[in-house]
Amino acid sequence: MAEAPLLDVNGVTLRYKTPGSVVTATERVSFSVNRSDRFVLLGPSGCGKSTLLKAVGGYLKPSEGAITILGRKVTEPGPDRMMVFQEFDQLLPWKTVLENVMFPLMDARKLSRKEAEDKARHYIEKVHLTRALHSYPHTLSGGMKQRVAIARGMAMEPDILLMDEPFAALDALTRRTCQDELLQLWEETRFTVMFVTHSIGEAIKIGNRILLLSPHPGRVKAEVVDVDAASPTDGSAGRLEKEIHDMLFADEAGEAH
Amino acid sequence: MAEQAGTRAPRIILRPAEGVVSGEVERELSFFERAWDNGAVRKVVIILALAALWEAYGRYTANPLLFPTLSDTLEALMENIRSGVLPARAWASLKVLLTGYAAGIVMAGLLTIAAINTRLGSDFLETMTAMLSPLPAIALLPLALLWFGLGNGSLVFILVHSVLWPVALNTHSGFRAVSNTLRMVGRNYGLRGFAFIRKILIPAAFPSILAGLKIGWAFAWRTLVAAELVFGVSSGQGGLGWFIFENRNLLEIPSVFAGLLTVILIGLVVENLIFRTIERKTVLRWGLQQ
Ligand SMILES: Nc1ncnc2c1ncn2[C@@H]1O[C@H](COP(=O)(O)OP(=O)(O)OP(=O)(O)O)[C@@H](O)[C@H]1O
Ligand SMILES: [Mg+2]
């Protein structure tokens, strides 16, 4: 099992230049993601989770350290790393559900229309949206939009799927359905995903590895491995949740997440 | 409420559906609902009412030299169409108009692309729009005549001026309002440069672009008719403005009204058929505009 990691983040410092000041969002963060990992970034608001994910996506350049994926250095955004955003407006409003999923397949993957359509239909079916195939995004509910975005990302069969709190803006019931669906999809295709959340429960449910970050500036605090072993039925998930909670909020007791 | 102490526990009581389940989730609208929902139908009703008012007032004043009736006007219109004068004049106007409109749009496109790619281009666009857009195109006509002579060149020049600024301004502000998420999605697909503009920015900013095109069209149309009234014939054949001017001099007032009516009709057709159709097939269908 000495396989080289799929994604390697090595001593990465990320800074934002604002007029008059420089904000350090993360400082010398290192971790690596293996193939078929469900790798979760967890931490309180402002600890740089989104910033890290954007850097892996290629939208931000590290001011220190390097990010490599399968040995290639990440320098710009590309379809080998598909992003699923938190925002509901991430679908192209001028394309139907089917067209939204097909577009990057044809444009970036250079598939023929026929191949793209077959693949798109396959993944749309997997997120149970065949009914809405020809609907425009503005007629969909928030949860449906997020599932289209997931279908779009997965249809591209990227090296890694990057998800930034994709379910955070959903109601609790829809969120659970979406989480279950994502896990079901993972069982089927074993894709690699990096998942950002600030909910400890969601992290334990989704992830097999969890990276805990502490804020101001964002640093790695700990890593939780073999999260799969925690089960909600025998109470071990609950215990893990409490442990993680205590650890994250140890030095800032009382601060809401 | 006969509850014994100690037996209270949460329960789920199933409620069988009452009556016949309609199963209706989505339903086609009836013919009349659809007709009244159609803006065109409502507008036709308004136009018919106005036409009736015109006819009534024309008959009441009974002074064809000042205010001909609608029927007189329509008669003059038919006559002028049959003789081929009016279509020729309208076509002369439209040819110049389309040339100026297209040139203005192309220049607006170039200017906007420069503006979104460079800061200097953006400053340039903002300064030029601030300076030139309050300047009525017709005010440039004397100068245009001096530079380009008595011909279509002058007309096209002032048309470009009337189209360029509103279209460029709207397109630019539309581009800038495209959400950061959509930009990131586009770059995620590996789109860059012109492909990014064509496949992401233009459709995303389409409501603003379309608004700019509509304003540009209205400005151009008005400017053209006004300019033709001022200097009339160009290269042997005048446009609609000249037709109106000429007939006024001949005291053919019903024909003057027929000319005005043609100007209005062309405006209505472009607004209600062309632009409405584009709107229905794009921004309305995409939910980018209600
Ligand atoms: N565009 C920006 N310009 C300047 N500073 C920024 C910008 N985006 C984020 N930051 C700063 O970087 C830090 C990390 O932000 P980031 O959005 O990555 O946090 P996060 O962990 O995703 O938080 P949340 O859970 O609230 O989404 C914060 O201190 C924030 O103020
Ligand atoms: Mg975030």
One digit per residue, the tens of pLDDT, for chain B of length 290 reads: 445 555 677 777 777 766 666 667 777 778 887 887 887 788 888 989 999 999 999 899 888 888 888 898 999 999 999 998 889 989 988 999 999 999 999 999 999 999 988 889 999 999 998 898 888 888 888 888 889 887 788 889 999 999 999 999 999 999 999 999 999 999 999 998 889 999 999 999 999 999 999 999 999 998 888 888 877 655 556 788 888 888 888 888 989 999 999 998 898 888 888 998 999 899 888 988 87
Q: For ligand 1, say whether the CB of A214 is within 6 Å of any of its atoms.
A: no
Nearest CA in chain B to A79: B189
- H or E stretch at B122: helix B119-132
Task: Count how many Cα atoms sit within 13 Å of the Cα of residue B95 in the half-sphere of its side chain.
Answer: 12
Joined together, the tokens standing for residue B283 give 């921004």
> How sure is the predictor about A257, in pLDDT bands with cuts at 50, 70 and 90?
very low
Q: CB A107 to CB B184 under 8 A?
A: no
- Work out the average pLDDT over A194-210: 89
Give the fold, CATH level 3, of A1-80+162-172+194-257: Rossmann fold (3.40.50)
Q: Is B249 on the interface with A (CB under 8 A)?
A: no
What is the spatial distance between Cα B188 and Cα A53, in angstroms, rounded to a whole number?
13
- Work out the average pLDDT over A53-58: 93
Exposure b/e, A48-80, CB count within 10 A at least 16 = b: bbbbbbbbbbbbbebeebebbbeeeebeebbbb
- Work out the average pLDDT over A19-25: 88
Predicted model pTM: 0.82
**CA angle, B173 then B175 then B176, to 5°:** 65
Q: Is A137 on the interface with B (CB under 8 A)?
A: yes
CB B265 within 8 A of CB B271: no
- Ligand 1 pocket test, pick from A13, A14, A16 with the greatest ligand atom count within 8 Å of Cβ, gives A16
Q: Is A79 on the interface with B (CB under 8 A)?
A: yes
Which ligand 1 atom is nearest residue A86's CA?
27
Q: For ligand 1, say whether the CB of A18 is within 6 Å of any of its atoms.
A: yes
Q: Is A87 on the interface with B (CB under 8 A)?
A: yes
For residue B68, whether the previous peptide bond is cis, meaning omega lies within 30 degrees of 0, is no
What burial class does residue A234 get, using C-beta atoms within 10 Å of its C-beta: 0-12 exposed, 13-18 middle, 19+ buried?
A: exposed
